[in-house]
Amino acid sequence: MNESSRAPLHREDNVPVDNKRVLSGRYELGGLIGRGGMADVYSGTDTRLGRTVAIKILRPDMARDPQFQARFKREAQSVAALNHSSIVAIYDTGEQQVHDGSEESVRLPYIVMEFVDGKTLRDLIRAKDVSIGQAIDYTLGVLGALEYSHRAGIVHRDIKPANVMFCEATNSIKVMDFGIARAMADSSATMTQTQAVVGTAQYLSPEQARGETVDARSDLYSAACLLYEMLTSRPPFIGDSPVSVAYQHVREIPAPPSSINPEVSSALDTVMAKALQKNRDDRFQDAAAFQRALRAARSGVAVPAVPASEAPTDPNDHVPAPDSPPTEAFAAAAGAGFLDDAPTGRLAVTGRDDAGARAPLSVADEPGEAEPLPLGLSPEREPSPRQKSRRRAWIATLVIFTVLILAGGGLWVYSVVNRPAPPPPKVDIPVVASMTESAALQELYNANLKPKITRSQNDAVPKGIAIGTDPVSGQKLDPGAEVILNISEGPSAVKIPETIPGSTEAAARDVLRQVGLVGAPSTTTANSATVPAGIVITTSPAPGQSVGVGTTVELVVSTGKVAVPELRGRTREEAEAALKDLGLVPNVVEAENGQVEAGRVTDQSDAVNAAVEQGKTITVVVAKAPPPPPTATPTPTPTSTKGSRDRD
């Protein structure tokens, strides 16, 4: 902690004791032991019980945001009711009121937690200090904590290596940071809240990435991602941005851990394959089942394969309804009668009986033996050879015409049945300008396009906001075509805020970060007659200058002290004016000095260039003329007493 952070608090229950901060008159702050995205963690001492604790304090730049305030308080509420050896315990909560350099003070909530002396799994993974056996043991500890919290109705929603600690002294696992935990009964607890991502992209479950309601199986997916990283030293999915990683969680299948680390057994591969299923119904349904599978895999027993009839389902595989109407059945209607050549050269005109079978309408055997026709027609006499020839010609013509019609109909039916499917209709490129990056990506995915992100500086569009697409919106493309999404990196140059002088060092660094600048790692101190200690005097480059984004800005912070000037040889008036200009209080003492002009300073209480506190009293010695020497008086002549007596 720097000097500015040790300034006295502005509440009666937060008083400085021995130059240290004491919260609520009970918790004495120690050194900084961790820093997260929204809070700082200090070691501390519970002076009432005499035990070491960890105190988590919300950062000043986050304290003004109601969403972070609610998330911080929800962490205490979520864990307060959980009492498990693998979950960091919450002892107490409170608030402190501090000044951040603005006109109003800020109320910073804090949480008093169990102090865990260990390392996070993130540190162990980066140091490659996790064996396969240890990875299984650590995961079993995490699953034990999750099983307990899930029974209590709490979903963690942010399981990751940075939120799990290993305590070597007790050989135990501690799960912490329930800052975005939610009750399972809260149906509104989705991944997105006011267009902001809640959680860490590398460990998001597919349902969290899609913004759906989470449950206990979402935590088990994140725990599987944690185990995957311990086995392979990398998360299951890696991308250029959190959005691309979240998209991989939804759409892509991770590589088996054994393909990255050959020491991973095939049994562990089957456990990971089931734990990382996209559909939560295909994963382990509770933490206990996950634990049993891990213990079995340690003994070489694989997770049974899912039967083909119960193959895992992908919630993303939606088969769209066909655009064209169902294929209609085609049928050729037959005529009511057919003309056939009857045996023995007889002509038979056939039709359909009531049962649908072909039946003769009339039959002629020999001339003169014709029977009455069922249709009531009178019998005809035997046709002449010329009539027979003409009839045969008509019959042949009718047969050929019928064959041609049937052949044409068959060809038409064949062409219809075997006609290639029409190309899919083109899609319009939607308007995504002024949207956030995640919203623009979702809009393009919904339009059945494949976005590719490019980033560029833009002085008019804020950082992280979409500038537009290439091709531009309104044009038509084939489904699945690639579209370039141009995202703004913000302005190429920004002004150093002129409000930085007069604020605390911590507040100044937060302001620089918010505008895209970086505070120098080391702080330059300087004496000042008017600026209190710990307050920024100026910056380098100076406030108001335009610099490139990401430029390192040096902060000049006041020491609260003043360098004593050389006063000897000056007149009294000059010395007093010089001290008052520096905020020092002159104390003039006159001393007789016959060798120095009267009214000149002959000595000063503090050495030249000595750093003294603002407002200190400086004693100066001013020469005073010595008094003049006394004037000599004449000595009277004594008279003789004897003469006097004689005269008498």
pLDDT digits (tens, 9 = 90+) for 289-328: 999 999 999 999 888 865 544 445 555 544 333 343 333 3
Among 43, 42, 39, 41, smallest CA distance to 65 is for 39
pLDDT band at 345 (very low <50, low <70, confident <90, very high): very low
Among 491, 533, 489, 496, smallest CA distance to 518 is for 496
pLDDT band at 180 (very low <50, low <70, confident <90, very high): low
Structural domains of the chain, ranges and CATH numbers in brackets:
4-114 (3.30.200.20), 119-306 (1.10.510.10), 427-488 (3.30.10.20), 493-559 (3.30.10.20), 563-624 (3.30.10.20)
Range with the largest mean pLDDT of 155-159, 185-189, 230-234, 543-547: 230-234
Residue 267 has pLDDT above 80, yes or no: yes
**With contact defined as beta carbons under 8 Å apart, do 564 and 609 qualify?**
yes
Among 109, 82, 45, 92, smallest CA distance to 174 is for 82
How confident is the model at residue 355, as a pLDDT? Answer: 39
State mean pLDDT over 154-180: 86
Q: 11 vs 591, which has greater pLDDT?
A: 591
State mean pLDDT over 24-53: 88
**Calpha distance 538→296 (Å, rounded):** 64
State mean pLDDT over 575-592: 86
How confident is the model at residue 229, as a pLDDT? Answer: 95
Residue 409 has pLDDT above 80, yes or no: yes
Residue 273 has pLDDT above 50, yes or no: yes
**Calpha distance 190→211 (Å, rounded):** 5
56 is in an annotated binding site: yes
Joined tokens for residue 227:
């185990």
Among 521, 511, 516, 501, smallest CA distance to 547 is for 516
Residue with token string 């007596």: 645
Residue 543 has pLDDT above 50, yes or no: yes
**Calpha distance 20→45 (Å, rounded):** 11
Joined tokens for residue 119:
């390392």
**Calpha distance 119→164 (Å, rounded):** 9
pLDDT band at 112 (very low <50, low <70, confident <90, very high): very high
Residue 537 has pLDDT above 60, yes or no: yes
Name the amino acid, one letter, at 638: P
Which is catalytic among the residues 40, 158, 177, 219? 158
| Greatest Cα pair distance in the chain | 235
3-state secondary structure 339-354: EEECHHHCEEEEEECC
**Residue 158: active-site member:** yes
Q: 358 vs 275, which has greater pLDDT?
A: 275
**With contact defined as beta carbons under 8 Å apart, do 220 and 160 qualify?**
no
Residue 65 has pLDDT above 80, yes or no: no
What SS3 class is residue 269? Answer: helix
Which residues, other chains included, contact 415 with Cβ-Cβ below 8 Å and sequence gap of 6+?
none
Mean pLDDT of the chain: 78
| Phi and psi, residue 14, nearest 5° | -120, 90
How confident is the model at residue 134, as a pLDDT? Answer: 94
How confident is the model at residue 435, as a pLDDT? Answer: 92
Q: Give the Cβ contact number of residue 302 at 10 Å.
A: 17
**With contact defined as beta carbons under 8 Å apart, do 23 and 94 qualify?**
yes
How confident is the model at residue 323, as a pLDDT? Answer: 41
HSE of 641, CA atoms in CB hemisphere, 13 A: 0
**Calpha distance 71→38 (Å, rounded):** 10
Residue 91 has pLDDT above 60, yes or no: yes
Residue 505 has pLDDT above 90, yes or no: no
pLDDT band at 452 (very low <50, low <70, confident <90, very high): very high
Q: What is the pLDDT of residues 430-450, one digit of tens each?
A: 999 989 998 999 999 998 999
pLDDT band at 13 (very low <50, low <70, confident <90, very high): very low
Residue 63 has pLDDT above 80, yes or no: no
Q: What is the pLDDT of residues 72-84, one digit of tens each?
A: 777 677 777 788 8
Distance of CA 563 to the CA centre of its chain: 49
How confident is the model at residue 235, as a pLDDT? Answer: 95
Q: Rounded to the nearest 5 degrees, what angle is found at the Cα of 170, between the Cα atoms of 164 and 176?
A: 20
Which residues, other chains included, contact 206 with Cβ-Cβ below 8 Å and sequence gap of 6+?
221, 249, 250, 278, 280, 315, 316
Joined tokens for residue 18:
């021995």
**Calpha distance 395→342 (Å, rounded):** 13
State mean pLDDT over 462-481: 89
Residue with token string 């990506």: 441
Among 302, 295, 314, smallest CA distance to 271 is for 302
DSSP 324-344: SPPPPP--PPPPS-EEEE-GG
How confident is the model at residue 377, as a pLDDT? Answer: 38
Going from the C-alpha of 541 to that of each of 183, 222, 359, the distances in angstroms are: 50, 45, 110
Q: 110 vs 190, which has greater pLDDT?
A: 110
**Calpha distance 477→430 (Å, rounded):** 11
State mean pLDDT over 488-512: 87
Q: Which residue intervals of 299-435 are DSSP H helices?
A: 385-417
What SS3 class is residue 378? Answer: coil
pLDDT band at 103 (very low <50, low <70, confident <90, very high): low
How confident is the model at residue 315, as a pLDDT? Answer: 54
Q: Give the Cβ contact number of residue 180 at 10 Å.
A: 19
pLDDT band at 607 (very low <50, low <70, confident <90, very high): confident
pTM for the full predicted model: 0.47
Residue 340 has pLDDT above 50, yes or no: no
Which residues, other chains included, contact 176 with Cβ-Cβ below 8 Å and sequence gap of 6+?
87, 88, 113, 116, 163, 164, 165
pLDDT band at 61 (very low <50, low <70, confident <90, very high): confident
Residue 512 has pLDDT above 80, yes or no: yes
Q: What residues pair up with 29 in beta bridges, in sequence order?
A: 44
DSSP 556-611: EEE-SEEEPPP-TTSBHHHHHHHHHHTT-EEEEEEEE-SSS-TTBEEEESS-TT-E
Measure CA of the first residue to CA of the last residue in the chain; give whole Å: 106
Residue 463 has pLDDT above 90, yes or no: no
How confident is the model at residue 266, as a pLDDT? Answer: 93
Q: Give the Cβ contact number of residue 111 at 10 Å.
A: 24
Going from the C-alpha of 625 to that of each of 590, 591, 621, the distances in angstroms are: 10, 8, 13
pLDDT band at 60 (very low <50, low <70, confident <90, very high): confident
**With contact defined as beta carbons under 8 Å apart, do 69 and 58 qualify?**
yes
Residue 238 has pLDDT above 50, yes or no: yes
How confident is the model at residue 589, as a pLDDT? Answer: 87
